[in-house]
Chain A
């Protein structure tokens, strides 16, 4: 028989420590929907999504009941729309977003990702038109997520695209000004965008993926925080071991759900994303893990080292627990979605400069950060450029999801609601980057020898 303590430990993780499966994401290829007739394209996309994913929500709910673990989100990721809508006008792309919104409503999924373009080296007409359409697409839909890959380690940084994304963020913030500029919470700018990421807002179904695939994102910051608390004042070797063991257990549940969902949905199992994804619920915070290691407040000196250790240990524990690992895999540090990060930002312990440093050692990047609404587009672009450079030089994924909240200034509170949480508007540098961004062109791909 199973060990009693093991059973009670699992129950305790789910009931008291917020262990859950954060997302079961179905990736769907849209390449077979391509048509030169916009109406036909729209119909084929709608039919493909609603046909392929018709059982996604019922199957996820069945697995939830069977294994007794909550599956918070059921999502869909798509082939980047700019690759299948090449000939569309910006208005045509907005109509596609509306079609996706209808599909999301019909299926009952939480989000559809893939209103996306890949422009790391340059923009096709299709990619340009899609990017032009992003603000309106985000303003007229509620469940559609958009992402743009502006750089890669092999291609360098497309600074024209970086400049444009600052303008796109401003426009999306303006068009959704009645709701604290929430459009920007559904838009992420990437370097080295992963092709199998199950997490929003950046999920896409990459071009090397099969027709349909199941990817799963796990969670569990509360479980890790509790394990660290139980260890007490141990040294770092033991702390890393504790995190590894905990991450292993969390990831095994993800592997179980991914394999079961794939089998029931008749789609191949893609990857498990080894993520520590926080929610605004108290006790489900990555910041509290760092504070549990001995930091008075997240953001103080030592935070980068603590996060580096956490991120590495999570990966080491998770890799053995899953047969295929991918996506963003690591600790997430979205400010508004993490109770501890919010508290640290409110009391001034956590600044955007420290967040930038933290992103060099963990997954993703500057995530869900509210900034003043009157921030110039060029400053937003410069923040993007900084973050993207970290990813390009270090051969890792980085991303930016900033919300320049229309009409709000430093210190004011912004309420996004639900899993997106709330956040104080953070202070940025007051000095201009306009002439730097105005240069345009490309920052060349970095050299990968002579590493210093």
Chain B
């Protein structure tokens, strides 16, 4: 079972480090990462495996969102099915 973590906001040092650290803490395995920086705007998309998640999905999403808020970043964790449903027939 996979989820997609998206991080958008102003680019600063250590964003990927912070998200990766949170993933490791909650037993989430990173499968793929893509990121781009346009002007100062940072957008990262991370595909993660959540089979080993040590807390409830909602708690993991909340923990990351709160980490993001402290740095002015919008961090969302969403089950991959919402993207598959919307964009694939």
Contacts and interface: CB of A to CB of B under 8 A. Distances in A.
Interface of A: 1-4, 6-11, 15, 61-62, 65-69, 249, 252-253, 255-256
Closest 3 CB pairs of A and B: A68-B78, A65-B58, A6-B87
B10 interface: no
A249 B86 CA distance: 5
A10 B82 contact: yes
Contact of A2 (B36, B57, B84): B84
A1 B32 contact: yes
Given A62-B57, A256-B82, A256-B85, 8 more contacts: A4-B43, A6-B86, A66-B78, A68-B61, A68-B76, A68-B77, A253-B82, A256-B81
A10 B86 CA distance: 8
Contacts of B57: 62, 65-66
Most B C-beta atoms less than 10 A away, residue of A9, A65, A249: A65
Contacts of B36: 4
A395 B1 CA distance: 46
A67 B32 contact: no
Interface bracket on B: 20 to 34
Interface string B54-80: 000110011000000000001011111
A7 B7 CA distance: 11
Contacts of A249: 86-87
A137 B8 CA distance: 49
25 contacts: A2-B80, A2-B83, A3-B87, A4-B43, A6-B87, A7-B45, A8-B8, A10-B82, A10-B87, A11-B8, A11-B76, A61-B58, A62-B57, A65-B58, A65-B61, A65-B62, A66-B78, A67-B79, A68-B61, A68-B78, A69-B82, A249-B87, A252-B85, A252-B86, A255-B85
A253 B86 contact: yes
Given A4-B34, A65-B61, A67-B78, A10 B83 contact: yes
B85 A253 contact: yes
Contacts of A62: 57-58
Contact of B34 (A1, A61, A256): A1
A2 B83 CA distance: 8
B83 to A, nearest CB: 5
Contact of A68 (B43, B82, B85): B82
A7 B32 CA distance: 14
B75 to A, nearest CB: 11
Contacts of A15: 74
Nearest to B76: A68
B6 A11 contact: yes
A300 to B, nearest CB: 34
A7 B44 CA distance: 11
Nearest to B58: A65
B28 interface: no
B87 A2 contact: yes
Contacts of A253: 82, 85-86
B73 to A, nearest CB: 13
Contacts of B83: 2, 6-7, 10
Contacts of B8: 8, 11
Given A2-B80, A65-B61, A7 B4 contact: yes
B43 A8 contact: yes
A65 to B, nearest CB: 3
Contacts of A7: 4, 6, 45, 83
A252 B85 CA distance: 6
Contacts of A255: 85
